[in-house]
């Protein structure tokens, strides 16, 4: 593949581009879904193509193609050069990339069992079994179970001299039961909603979830939610658990710390950020307990790789340290704007056909010294919420509202009855500032976000957020229209 | 086009007697994105995607690939057949659709629009940037164009082809603490009023400077077309899909023929002609029907594909998504019946209310009532005594749409074509008692 890639590098050099690169990507993915005893999806996909970036006289051009010949690659590279020339018609200054050493390397996601080697019927049998277990409860109207596996093989070559080959593997799955009665529906999932859990690794990820052990409970809890009272409204203490903390981190810290967004380059679509650069290393983002760490080296992380798509080696850094804004998600183009001489390496593209953009890395809330039991015992009147169903945040990442699958009231230090339709609202720094307890490392888990959308044209990226349950004081809870 | 036909034929031969459906899409497309008054991303993409669905005696699999050489096709179809061979039978699996005559549809392809070069896009972006610089404003946005061909074919002799071009201009303008936005799209770039889009975004940005904070609560709202469309697409998708209806998860269940909404609300799904015309066949190659969903507030019908129609013991309306589909059929060409008058007239008729340019990050809370949340964005204004009184800080709404659209007070004329959940043609409208649950800092 590097021989094919060289055709693009040659074109970039011929035009004396300051920088050029090509990413050839072979993407294999398999998705399986069962709904109410029927196969709702069984897809096997292989795509192959390349994207070429050219930085010509300080302006970017990008083109992608899938004709796998040297001529096809060269024509696409020429197209990227022509587009870069057009970009020069509207530029303020020359784009300059932060330097990075050249690498010749191979990296792959560690795994135990190749998920593509597991027979399809074995996967379907498991999904059908889960489906039947969920539907043992007669109120369950829709049972769905699914799995997905993605292997992305990349060959990345730059005019800087990097030749990086990477094989990224992820596996995911989950179950969801929806109970319907009297014009109302309630949903419960395991390990979480939105298609379940996805992590970096192989078939062992599916085995470790032990889905069958949870399927019947999931069905029963969906049905029980139909009969549960609604989550009460008003300011209360809140414990967030399950994958809801992943969404909270993702929306209110992850996207807010993308430096391209901070600098205004996402304004036309996803928006900007309140975490502007004059706040860097000064702004109190949360209470002193709050430490949020970005980590491209995190085992099992969906954004874990040897290198990002700027050919920058994987790193680990703080976004929030002891409650203070301490870092951003960066690429080589923008990191200089905050005085960085080197990017932290958080630039990724969706497949072969998209230009690499600044993305959220794996971003985790570091564990505290408490436990869920201790967090509960310190609440007189509150709610514990688990697993996300709905999310929304304003374009500067301040005002958010989340809805969760399930809640439990906490009264006088005890977790009591189940409540349905729990929601909460907040303003990002005020919310994180109210965090006064985080459970310890024993309860810390990694959650995958496999469908993060950003950019124009729209791109999807995957990353993980680790956390243990955490407590927040006097949160606006139970908001409905 | 000839090539896609040949590719389909090759795949049918490789399927060795199994029923075979191919969805082939060839797409050439480019987008110039600008921000902070410079071009920030400038990209072009050329792609071919083949989705091959194989069925054999109650077994099914789908294989997706993007290489159309003989070896890749052979490998792809063989891997699908291998998966089929080891699969248990599903007695409920529908066979492929037979060919049916298709309506003629509307031409949506313009060769010139498809081929517009990067210099044209840069020039359009430059027009806005130069105008903004003169007013010390900051321009962001996109200019895009391209074309695609989509073919649905199957081994029972069905072959349906849709070709369209596409152009769009989106302008976001920042003016200190004010921001404005406007957007238009068309299959023909000549129909996009670039100057109007730019002027609108710039004027809104200037007018929304120094916004005041107001208390959240229930307000009359004047929704510009994009804001109204952002809500009505959810109402359409979560109310009128045959799958959700069959599952008992739609607010339409048990309510067909009943008045659920304001008599001012009428909407149909119509891909065949009119303002929201599109592909005249669905993703199984079946002819789309024009379906009235709501007529003067009364719920009239839901949309079906062959699978949901069979379960509901009715006929397909030709609204299949690519099969198998978890969501089932939904409206992709939603047309809201316009009223009379202008946006200005809606504002003039409002004693006290809020003008919403656009909603941001809308999401569903509860499907049965289509309870949603989201933020206002890029120009939110207080209306007092029929006039825009002052800009306000953005608000979060939390509101059931089934409830909200019972209180439509007026619908304007001149709908806009908007790309959301397919496309929607939607006018501005005024609703009473719309619930804003909190505010933000800007």
Which residues form the domain of A48?
2-227
| Residues 399-458 of chain A whose Cβ lies under 8 A from any Cβ of chain B | 399, 401, 403, 421, 423, 425, 427, 455-457
User: Which residue among B92, B123, B400 sits closest to A481, beta carbon to beta carbon?
Assistant: B400
Q: What kind and span of H or E run contains A76?
A: helix A70-87
Based on the domain organization, do A307 and A418 belong to the same domain?
yes
Q: How confident is the model at residue B340 (pLDDT cuts 50, 70, 90)?
A: very high
| Chain B residue numbers touching A401 (CB-CB < 8 A) | 373, 396, 398, 437-438
Based on the domain organization, do A53 and A106 belong to the same domain?
yes
User: If you average pLDDT over residues A196-219, what whole number do you get?
Assistant: 98
| Chain B residue numbers touching A48 (CB-CB < 8 A) | 66-67
Strand partners, B139: B173
Residue A145 touches partner B, C-beta closer than 8 Å: no
Question: Where do we find the tokens 């492929």?
Answer: B96
| Residues 350-409 of chain A whose Cβ lies under 8 A from any Cβ of chain B | 353-355, 357, 389-396, 398-399, 401, 403
pLDDT per residue over A109-149, tens digit each?
999 999 999 999 999 999 999 999 999 999 999 999 999 99
Model's pTM, two decimal places?
A: 0.96
State residue B326's pLDDT score: 87
Q: What is the DSSP letter of A258?
A: B
Contacts of B426 (CB under 8 A, 6+ apart): B225, B226, B228, B229, B232, B334, B336, B415, B416, B418
Cα separation, A142 vs A40, in Å, equals 12
State residue B138's pLDDT score: 97
CA distances A247 to A218, B351, B396, B425, Å, are 21, 40, 19, 33
Based on the domain organization, do A179 and A283 belong to the same domain?
no
Residue B85, judged by CB atoms within 10 A of its CB (0-12, 13-18, 19+), counts as exposed
- The reply to whether residue A425 touches residue B377, judged by beta carbons under 8 angstroms, is no
Domain segments of chain B as ranges: 2-202, 211-442
- The reply to whether residue A396 touches residue B441, judged by beta carbons under 8 angstroms, is yes
User: Which residue among A33, A45, A79 sits closest to B44, beta carbon to beta carbon?
Assistant: A79
- The reply to whether residue A46 touches residue B64, judged by beta carbons under 8 angstroms, is yes
User: If you average pLDDT over residues A264-284, what whole number do you get?
Assistant: 97
Of A171, A168, A172, the C-alpha closest to A156 is: A168
| Chain B residue numbers touching A141 (CB-CB < 8 A) | 247-249
Q: Which residue does chain B place closest to A404, by CA atoms?
A: B365
pLDDT at A340 over 70: yes
Q: Please identify, among A178, A208, A227, the residue that sits at the C-terminal boundary of a domain.
A: A227
Under 8 Å between Cβ of A311 and A160: yes
Cα separation, A158 vs B290, in Å, equals 52
Structure tokens at A232: 């009460």
Based on the domain organization, do A220 and A242 belong to the same domain?
no
pLDDT at B1 over 60: no
Q: Which fold has domain B2-202?
A: PmbA/TldD fold (3.30.2290)
Cα separation, A149 vs A118, in Å, equals 11
Based on the domain organization, do A152 and A244 belong to the same domain?
no
| Chain A residue numbers touching B88 (CB-CB < 8 A) | 121, 124
User: If you average pLDDT over residues A350-370, what whole number do you get?
Assistant: 97
Angle between helices A70-87 and B118-134 (to 10 degrees): 20
Based on the domain organization, do A212 and A248 belong to the same domain?
no
User: Which residue among A183, A274, A401 sits closest to B396, beta carbon to beta carbon?
Assistant: A401
pLDDT at B2 over 80: no
Cα separation, A134 vs A131, in Å, equals 5
| Chain B residue numbers touching A180 (CB-CB < 8 A) | 247-249
Q: Please identify, among A203, A227, A251, the residue that sits at the C-terminal boundary of a domain.
A: A227
| Chain A residue numbers touching B119 (CB-CB < 8 A) | 86, 89
Q: Please identify, among A227, A246, A264, the residue that sits at the C-terminal boundary of a domain.
A: A227
Q: Work out how many domains chain A is built from and give that number.
A: 2
Q: CA geometry: angle at A362 spanning A176 and A352, to 5°?
A: 85
Query: What's the mean per-residue pLDDT of chain A?
Result: 97
- The reply to whether residue A86 touches residue B122, judged by beta carbons under 8 angstroms, is yes
| Chain A residue numbers touching B61 (CB-CB < 8 A) | 42-44, 120
Cα separation, A402 vs A252, in Å, equals 11
What is the interface pTM, i.e. ipTM, of the complex? Answer: 0.95
Of B232, B237, B244, B241, the C-alpha closest to B317 is: B241
| Chain A residue numbers touching B65 (CB-CB < 8 A) | 45-47
Query: What's the mean per-residue pLDDT of chain B?
Result: 96
Share of chain A above pLDDT 70, in %: 100
State residue A364's pLDDT score: 98
Based on the domain organization, do A336 and A464 belong to the same domain?
yes
Cα separation, B123 vs A270, in Å, equals 24
- The reply to whether residue B87 touches residue A124, judged by beta carbons under 8 angstroms, is yes
State residue A459's pLDDT score: 97
- The reply to whether residue A395 touches residue B66, judged by beta carbons under 8 angstroms, is no
Share of chain A above pLDDT 90, in %: 97
pLDDT at A55 over 90: yes
State residue B85's pLDDT score: 84
Cα separation, B389 vs A284, in Å, equals 36
pLDDT at B244 over 60: yes
pLDDT per residue over B84-99, tens digit each?
987 888 888 899 999 9
pLDDT per residue over A388-436, tens digit each?
999 999 999 999 999 999 999 999 999 999 999 999 999 999 999 999 9
Based on the domain organization, do A238 and A140 belong to the same domain?
no
pLDDT per residue over B276-308, tens digit each?
999 999 999 999 999 999 999 999 999 999 999
| Residue A33: strand, helix, or coil | strand
pLDDT at A193 over 50: yes
Based on the domain organization, do A424 and A309 belong to the same domain?
yes
Strand partners, B380: B356
State residue B3's pLDDT score: 84
User: Which residue among A38, A390, A480 sits closest to B92, beta carbon to beta carbon?
Assistant: A38
Share of chain B above pLDDT 90, in %: 95
Q: In what order do the strands lie in the sheet with B423-426?
A: B298-299, B291-295, B267-269, B333-336, B423-426, B416-418
User: If you average pLDDT over residues B39-43, what whole number do you get?
Assistant: 94
Report how many Cβ contacts below 8 Å link chain A to chain B.
263
Residue B393's Cβ-side half-sphere holds a number of Cα atoms within 13 Å equal to: 14
| Chain B residue numbers touching A92 (CB-CB < 8 A) | 36-38
């Amino acid at each position: 593949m590097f021989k094919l890639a060289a055709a693009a590098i040659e074109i970039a050099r011929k035009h004396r581009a300051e920088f050029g690169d090509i990413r050839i990507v072979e993407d294999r993915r398999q998705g399986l879904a069962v709904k109410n005893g029927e196969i709702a999806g069984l897809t096997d996909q292989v795509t192959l193509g390349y994207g070429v970036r050219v930085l010509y006289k300080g302006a970017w051009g990008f083109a992608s193609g899938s004709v796998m010949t040297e001529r096809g690659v060269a024509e696409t590279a020429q197209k990227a050069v022509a587009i870069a020339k057009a970009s020069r018609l509207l530029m303020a200054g020359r784009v300059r990339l932060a330097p990075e050493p050249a690498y010749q390397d191979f990296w792959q996601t560690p795994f135990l069992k190749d998920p593509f080697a597991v027979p399809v019927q074995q996967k379907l049998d498991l999904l059908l079994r889960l489906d039947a277990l969920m539907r043992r409860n007669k109120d369950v109207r829709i049972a769905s179970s699914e799995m997905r596996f993605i292997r992305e093989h990349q060959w990345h070559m730059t005019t800087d001299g990097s030749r990086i080959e990477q094989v990224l593997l992820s596996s995911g799955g989950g179950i969801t039961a929806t109970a319907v009665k009297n014009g109302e529906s309630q949903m419960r999932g395991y390990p979480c909603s939105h298609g379940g859990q996805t992590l970096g690794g192989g078939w062992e990820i599916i085995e470790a979830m032990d889905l069958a052990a949870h399927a019947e409970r999931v069905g029963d809890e969906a049905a029980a939610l139909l009969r549960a009272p609604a989550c009460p409204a008003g300011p209360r203490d809140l414990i967030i658990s399950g994958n809801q903390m992943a969404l909270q981190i993702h929306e209110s810290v992850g996207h807010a710390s993308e430096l391209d967004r901070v600098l205004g380059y996402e304004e036309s679509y996803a928006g900007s950020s309140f975490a502007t650069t004059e706040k860097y290393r000064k702004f109190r983002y949360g209470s002193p307990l709050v430490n949020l760490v970005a980590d491209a080296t995190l085992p099992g992380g969906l954004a874990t790789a040897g290198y990002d798509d700027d050919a920058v080696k994987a790193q680990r850094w703080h976004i929030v340290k002891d409650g203070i804004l301490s870092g951003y998600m960066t690429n080589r183009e923008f990191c200089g704007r905050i005085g960085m001489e080197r990017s932290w390496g958080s630039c990724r593209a969706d497949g072969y056909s998209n230009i690499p953009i600044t993305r959220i890395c794996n971003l985790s809330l570091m564990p505290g010294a408490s436990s869920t039991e201790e967090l509960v015992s310190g609440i007189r009147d509150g709610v514990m919420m688990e697993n996300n169903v709905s999310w929304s945040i304003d374009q500067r990442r301040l005002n958010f509202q989340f809805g969760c699958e399930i809640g439990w009231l906490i009264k006088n230090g005890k977790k009591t009855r189940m409540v349905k339709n729990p929601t909460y609202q907040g303003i990002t720094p005020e919310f994180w500032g109210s965090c006064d307890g985080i459970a310890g490392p024993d309860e810390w888990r990694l959650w995958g976000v496999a469908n993060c959308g950003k950019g124009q044209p729209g791109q999807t990226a995957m990353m993980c957020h680790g956390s243990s349950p955490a407590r927040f004081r006097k949160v606006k809870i139970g908001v409905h229209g | 086009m000839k090539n896609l036909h040949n590719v389909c034929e090759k795949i049918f031969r490789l399927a060795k007697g199994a029923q075979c459906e191919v969805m082939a899409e060839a797409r050439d497309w480019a987008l110039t994105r600008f921000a902070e008054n410079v071009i920030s991303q400038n990209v072009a993409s050329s792609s071919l995607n083949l989705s091959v669905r194989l069925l054999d005696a109650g077994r099914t699999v789908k294989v997706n690939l993007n290489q159309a050489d003989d070896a890749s096709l052979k490998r792809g179809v063989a891997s699908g057949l291998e998966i089929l061979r080891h699969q248990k039978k599903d007695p409920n699996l529908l066979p492929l659709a037979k060919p049916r005559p298709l309506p003629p549809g509307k031409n949506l392809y313009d060769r010139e629009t498809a081929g517009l070069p990067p210099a044209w896009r840069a020039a359009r972006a430059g027009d806005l940037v130069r105008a903004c610089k003169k007013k010390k404003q900051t321009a962001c946005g996109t200019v895009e164009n391209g074309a695609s061909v989509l073919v649905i074919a199957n081994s029972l002799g069905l072959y349906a082809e849709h070709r369209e071009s596409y152009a769009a201009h989106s302008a976001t303008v920042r003016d200190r603490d004010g921001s404005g936005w406007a957007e238009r799209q068309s299959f023909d770039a000549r129909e996009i009023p670039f100057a109007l889009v730019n002027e609108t975004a710039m004027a809104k940005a200037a007018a929304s400077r120094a916004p005041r904070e107001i208390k959240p609560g229930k307000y009359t709202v004047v929704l510009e077309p994009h804001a109204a469309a952002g809500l009505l697409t959810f109402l359409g998708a979560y109310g009128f899909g045959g799958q959700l209806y069959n599952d008992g998860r739609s607010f339409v269940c048990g309510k067909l023929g009943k008045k659920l909404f304001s008599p001012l609300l009428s909407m149909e799904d119509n891909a065949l002609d009119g303002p929201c015309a599109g592909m005249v066949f669905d993703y199984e190659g079946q002819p789309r029907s024009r379906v009235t969903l709501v007529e003067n507030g009364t719920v009239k019908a839901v949309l079906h594909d062959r699978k949901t129609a069979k379960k509901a013991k009715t006929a397909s309306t030709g609204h299949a998504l690519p099969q198998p589909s978890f969501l089932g059929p939904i409206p992709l060409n939603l047309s809201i019946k316009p009223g009379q008058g202008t946006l200005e007239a809606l504002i003039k008729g409002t004693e006290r209310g809020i003008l919403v340019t656009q909603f941001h990050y809308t999401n569903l809370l509860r499907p049965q009532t289509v309870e949603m949340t989201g933020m206002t964005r890029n120009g939110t204004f207080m209306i007092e005594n029929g006039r825009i009184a002052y800009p306000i800080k953005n608000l979060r709404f939390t509101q059931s749409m089934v409830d909200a659209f019972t209180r439509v007070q007026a619908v304007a004329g001149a709908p806009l074509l908007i790309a959301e959940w397919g496309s929607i043609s939607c006018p501005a409208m005024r609703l009473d008692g719309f619930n804003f649950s909190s505010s933000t800092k800007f």
